């Protein structure tokens, strides 16, 4: 039996979601929909929506369900407030939630909450397993985007469950989706097609499942030889891909971000905030050194806030300066440039990021940071954060996620939030979400 066939058998025999697992699914569902709404309010989200409208009006495109899925996925991901699985460096909900929701909405009666939750679980498993199997937490720093690579297979896994495909057709869907995978979206550009490309990758995975349902087959031996190495320069650890599925599932190991920032910055921001919260004002700090794992120190060590939104999201110095002087700005998904604030500019000059081998040993299971401050009076203070708020060690519940999005969404979403939390176990709640999705 090939690896793709074994993976499809794993999904076919996957444990049903327990009440506690269903609760976790609901929290991540709420987190994704909050990001979806927040992303639509950004300039990049509006640009994607205009493109979608253009395609829908064109005589050459249908503007149908798959286009809606692509747009939703891209809009969630562009926010940088969606969830992330640290071990694989994938952001699974941005892929799996739109697919499950729109496929459910396409049903005559979208109330099968069990199938919906099983589909989400399958997507979380495939996204995170494939990301771990290609060593996503390390290859990301050589230009491979693990979420982009895993998106077609993750989307296909969700769609196969929603379509109720058997193990053989699921293997074909996963293989067709793998053939559509791409590792890198290329370098920066303005405006960037990065988010659009992710949406199209998710769309391709849905198409793979629909093709398999109509009898299309694939080369199921793609993961047996050196195909992945030859075509993408990636190795695949099939032991990680095919490990037994735990009762709590991959969803229990996915982090929820507390605010808009690259996940690599979050522990650093929290470590600095802990120093500020001790009553030490930013003006008392003569120098601040942030130690992080060597894998991503170069990524977050830059001081280039004027290079654009992504640069501001990935700069530890800029984000910590915001935490020091304009903390509310951490909750702004648009992330405008505030480096003209002289306090922020001056504070950044005294902040550096260094590699730490001891912290490197925690990576990628944890993405830790230590902040070491030298005060102007000559004393020193440090703060270590191994697990940030929202990490599996300190998971957010539904009320915390709702509080997170009260900062991002300018209207009450309490009713929608209640439907998100209940949908994995309640058909009427799922129908409410489907109706919302079809009108957004």
pLDDT value, residue 415: 84
pLDDT 10s per residue in the chain (440 long)?
999 999 999 999 998 899 999 999 999 999 999 999 999 988 999 998 888 777 664 444 455 899 999 999 999 999 999 999 999 999 999 999 999 999 999 998 888 999 999 999 999 999 999 999 999 999 999 999 999 999 999 999 999 999 999 999 999 999 999 999 998 888 777 788 999 999 999 999 999 999 999 999 999 999 998 999 999 999 999 999 999 999 999 999 999 999 999 999 999 999 999 999 999 999 999 999 999 999 999 999 999 999 999 999 999 999 999 999 999 999 899 999 999 999 999 999 999 999 999 999 999 999 999 999 999 999 999 999 999 999 999 999 999 999 998 876 756 678 889 999 999 999 999 999 999 999 87
Supply φ then ψ for residue 262, to 5 degrees: -60, 140
Q: Which of 132, 316, 351, 379 lies closest to 240 in space, CA to CA?
A: 132
d(CA 313, CA 327): 14
pLDDT value, residue 410: 58
Distances (CA, A) of 60 to 54, 202, 229: 11, 20, 36
* Radius of gyration of the chain measured on its C-alpha atoms: 21
pLDDT value, residue 60: 42
- Residue ranges per domain, the chain? 3-258+394-438, 263-385
d(CA 331, CA 309): 14
Contacts of 390 (CB under 8 A, 6+ apart): 255, 256, 257, 258, 266, 396, 400
- Residue 141 is given by DSSP the state G
pLDDT value, residue 58: 46
pLDDT value, residue 59: 44
Question: First-to-last CA distance in the chain?
Answer: 43
pLDDT value, residue 29: 97
3.30.460.20, 3.30.479.10, 3.40.50.300, 3.30.1330.120: which CATH number matches 263-385?
A: 3.30.1330.120
pLDDT value, residue 61: 44
Contact of 237 with 132, CB cutoff 8 Å: yes
- Copy the structure tokens of residue 255: 């982090």
d(CA 146, CA 77): 13
**3-258+394-438 in CATH: which number?**
1.10.4100.10
Supply φ then ψ for residue 354, to 5 degrees: -125, 155
d(CA 21, CA 302): 39
pLDDT value, residue 412: 61
């Amino acid at each position: 039996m090939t690896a793709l066939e074994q993976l499809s058998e794993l999904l076919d025999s996957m444990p049903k979601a327990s009440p506690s697992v269903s609760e976790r699914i609901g929290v991540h569902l709420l987190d994704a929909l909050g990001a979806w709404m927040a992303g639509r309010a950004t300039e990049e989200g509006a640009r994607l929506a205009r493109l979608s409208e253009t395609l829908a009006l064109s005589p050459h495109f249908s503007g149908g369900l798959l286009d809606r899925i692509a747009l939703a996925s891209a809009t969630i991901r562009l926010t940088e407030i969606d969830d992330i699985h640290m071990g694989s460096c994938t952001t699974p909900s941005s892929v799996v939630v739109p697919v499950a929701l729109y496929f459910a909405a396409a049903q005559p009666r979208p109330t099968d909450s069990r199938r919906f939750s099983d589909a989400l679980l399958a997507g979380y498993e495939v996204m995170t397993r494939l990301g771990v199997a290609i060593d996503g937490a390390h290859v990301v720093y050589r230009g491979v985007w693990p979420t982009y690579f895993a998106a077609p297979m993750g989307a296909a896994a969700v769609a196969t469950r929603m379509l109720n495909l058997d193990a053989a057709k699921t293997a074909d869907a996963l293989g067709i989706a793998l053939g559509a995978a791409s590792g890198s979206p290329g370098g920066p550009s303005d405006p960037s097609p990065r988010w659009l490309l992710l949406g199209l990758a998710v769309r391709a995975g849905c198409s793979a499942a629909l093709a398999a349902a109509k009898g299309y087959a694939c080369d199921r031996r793609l993961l047996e030889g050196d195909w992945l190495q030859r075509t993408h320069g990636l190795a695949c650890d099939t032991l990680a891909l095919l490990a037994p599925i735990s009762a709590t599932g991959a969803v229990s190991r996915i982090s929820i971000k507390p605010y808009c920032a690259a996940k690599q910055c979050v522990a650093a921001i929290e470590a600095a905030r802990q120093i500020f919260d001790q009553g030490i004002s930013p003006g008392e700090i003569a120098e601040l050194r942030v130690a992080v794992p060597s894998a991503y120190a170069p990524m977050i060590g830059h001081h280039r806030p004027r290079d654009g939104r992504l640069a501001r999201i990935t700069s530890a110095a800029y984000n910590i300066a915001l935490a020091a002087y304009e903390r509310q700005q951490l909750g702004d998904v648009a992330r405008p440039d505030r480096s003209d604030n002289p306090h922020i500019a001056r504070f950044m000059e005294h902040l550096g990021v260094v590699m730490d081998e001891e912290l490197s040993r925690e990576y990628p299971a944890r993405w830790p940071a230590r902040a070491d401050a030298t005060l102007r009076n000559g004393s020193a203070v440090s703060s270590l954060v191994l697990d940030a708020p929202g990490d599996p060690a300190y998971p957010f519940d539904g009320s915390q996620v709702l509080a997170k999005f009260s900062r991002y969404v300018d209207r009450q979403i309490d009713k929608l939030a209640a439907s998100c939390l209940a949908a994995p176990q309640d058909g009427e709640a799922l129908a409410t979400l489907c109706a919302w999705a079809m009108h957004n």
